Amino acid sequence: MIPYRIAIVASIAALIFLLVIFELIRSRRLQERYALLWLITGGVILILSAWRDALRLVAEQIGIAYPPSALFVIGFLFILVVLLHYSTVISELAEKNVRLAQDLALVEERLRLHERREQGARAEGA
Amino acid sequence: MNQPPPPRKRCIAIVPALNEAATVGRVIQEIRDVDPDFTVVVVDDGSDDATGTVAEAAGGTLLRLPFNLGIGGAVQTGYRYALANGFDVAVQVDADGQHDPSQLPLILEPILAGEADIVIGSRYAGLGTYRARGVRRLGQRIFARVVSLVVREPLTDTSSSFRALNRRSLSLFAADYPHGFLETVEATVLAGKYRLRMKEVPVVMRERELGRSSLTVPLSLFYTAKVLLAVFVSLFRRPAVRLEEEP
């Protein structure tokens, strides 16, 4: 069984973590869609920290003799998923950034063409 | 002495469109039929088909986004255009033909009369027989309940995007509008937060003519969770923009 001290410390840590995420969303520094994975991570860690029987059961199932290690492994897995998700998000952002720059260049060229034509028309009119 | 008639309100219809080349032209035409003075702006949210070309040919103003922003970002593009170009009233009309432009006067009336800042065309307020089915309807019911509770106003259809806005709500949504799917639910909560006057008006919607809802089950679960989270957090959020006082 997981020692009480670890259960309490881990629960408090998970709770603080969740509060920080909530505050980040509230102050608009974190969008809801990117917060969901973090919230699930924090929630699972909190449940497994506070509910010692559940953690023991999970540890037994995957063959970990010392339950707190299971908490560690599960936390690690979740963070891995979050990081992977962020890598895909960054890739998408990079792709869009390139497109934006290209579009801007094309629009700017059209604008200059337009301005030159307008100048030409005015010069002819004068 | 004769009072000069009050200047006519300048109205704009915002039509977000993603791959709706088959229907967008007719939607624009129908809006024009209702009121030829309506400016129609089509926001092409990264379509692969001829949506943009069709929209321009039908006489719409085209705002072409360089890539797909999602419905919220697309609609907000239209709101920003409307605000920057001095429009007084904006309506949102979907490009798939679901919203019947001949019902525009219904949702415009309370705005023009100065009775509301936002008018929502509701499918479930009495008119018509449209009913979404299954999980979709369940989701709509849950959102209507939750949002009614949060904004303390009995609303029956928070996911309807057939809406009309006055200058006041327009300036809010131009500055702050939820991204992604199911944006109308969050937008309604936002409007409640800013104490905008909301009014629901019963409307009839047409069956979707072409194409089906693009949502898969995991994606709709994700969005439901996201929207509920957003609604929950919004309870604790301080307003980020300051609205002009009422005239």
DSSP letters spanning A12-61 = HHHHHHHHHHHHHHHTTSS-HHHHHHHHHHHHHHHHHHH-HHHHHHHHHH
Query: Residue A36 and residue B225: Cβ atoms within 8 Å?
Result: yes
Of the candidates A25, A33, A100, which has its C-beta nearest B180's C-beta? Answer: A33
> A111 pLDDT band (50/70/90 cuts)?
very high
How much is the ipTM here?
A: 0.74
Do residues B57 and B21 touch, judged by C-beta distance below 8 A? no
Coil, strand, or helix at residue B98?
Answer: coil
Task: Provide the pairing of β-strand B163-165 with B118-122.
Answer: antiparallel
Q: How far apart are CA A102 and CA B66, in angstroms?
A: 10
Q: Are strands B89-92 and B163-165 parallel, antiparallel or unpaired?
A: antiparallel
What is the rounded CA–CA span in Å between residue B10 and residue B171?
A: 15
Alpha-carbon gap: B19 to the closest alpha carbon of chain A (Å): 19
Residue B180's pLDDT is 74
Closest residue in chain B to residue A106, using alpha carbons only: B66
Nearest 5 degrees, angle CA A79-CA A83-CA A88? 150
Query: Hey, which residues does B14 pair with through a beta bridge?
Result: B41, B92
Return the pLDDT at B6.
65
The arithmetic mean of pLDDT across residues B236-246, rounded, is 73
Whether residue A39 is predicted with pLDDT greater than 80 in this model: the reply is: yes
pTM, rounded to two decimals: 0.85
What's the CA gap between B69 and A53, in Å, rounded? 45
Q: Would you tell me the crossing angle of helices B71-84 and B183-193 to the nearest 10 degrees?
A: 50
Share of chain B above pLDDT 70, in %: 91
Task: Quote the tokens at residue B117.
Answer: 């800042």
Span A68-82, average pLDDT: 91
Give how far B150 is from chain A: nearest CA, Å: 16
For residue B124, give how far its alpha carbon lies from the nearest alpha carbon of chain A (Å).
Answer: 29
Of the residues A18, A32, A89, the best mutation for testing chain B's interface (the one with the most B CB atoms within 10 Å of its CB) is A32
Tell me the range of A58-67, B88-97, B215-224, B237-246 where mean pLDDT is highest: B88-97
pLDDT, one tens digit per residue, over B112-150 is 999 999 999 998 887 777 677 677 788 888 888 999 998
> Sign (positive/negative) of CA torsion B117, B121, B122, B128?
positive
Strand boundaries in chain B, DSSP class E: 11-17, 39-44, 61-64, 89-92, 118-122, 163-165, 198-202
Tell me the average pLDDT across A30-42.
91
Q: Both tokens of residue B134?
A: 């299954």
- With a CB cutoff of 8 Å and minimum separation 6, the contacts of B42 are B15, B16, B17, B24, B28, B51, B52, B55, B60, B61, B62, B63, B95
B245/B196 Cα distance (integer angstroms) = 11
Is 80 exceeded by the pLDDT of residue A70? yes
Nearest CA-CA distance, residue A15 and chain B, Å: 17
Percentage of chain B with pLDDT > 90?
Answer: 59
User: What pLDDT was estimated at residue A106?
Assistant: 93
The answer to whether B247 and B166 are in contact (CB under 8 A) is: no
The chain-wide mean pLDDT, for chain A, equals 91
Best A20, A21, A24, A33 member to test B by mutation, with max B CBs in 10 Å, is A33
Give the one of A28, A36, A96 whose C-beta lies nearest to B240's C-beta. Answer: A28
Q: In chain A, which residues touch B (CB < 8 A)?
A: 22, 25-26, 28, 31-33, 35-36, 39, 96, 99-100, 103
Q: What is the pLDDT of residues B158-202, one digit of tens each?
A: 889 999 999 999 999 999 998 877 889 999 999 998 999 999 999
pLDDT in tens, A93-109: 999 999 999 999 999 99
Give me the pLDDT at residue A103, please.
93
The mean per-residue pLDDT over the stretch B239-245 comes to 72
- Contact (CB<8Å) A25/B233: yes
pLDDT level of residue B210 (50, 70, 90 thresholds): very low
For residue B23, the number of C-alpha atoms closer than 13 Å in the C-beta half-sphere is 21
pLDDT for A116: 92
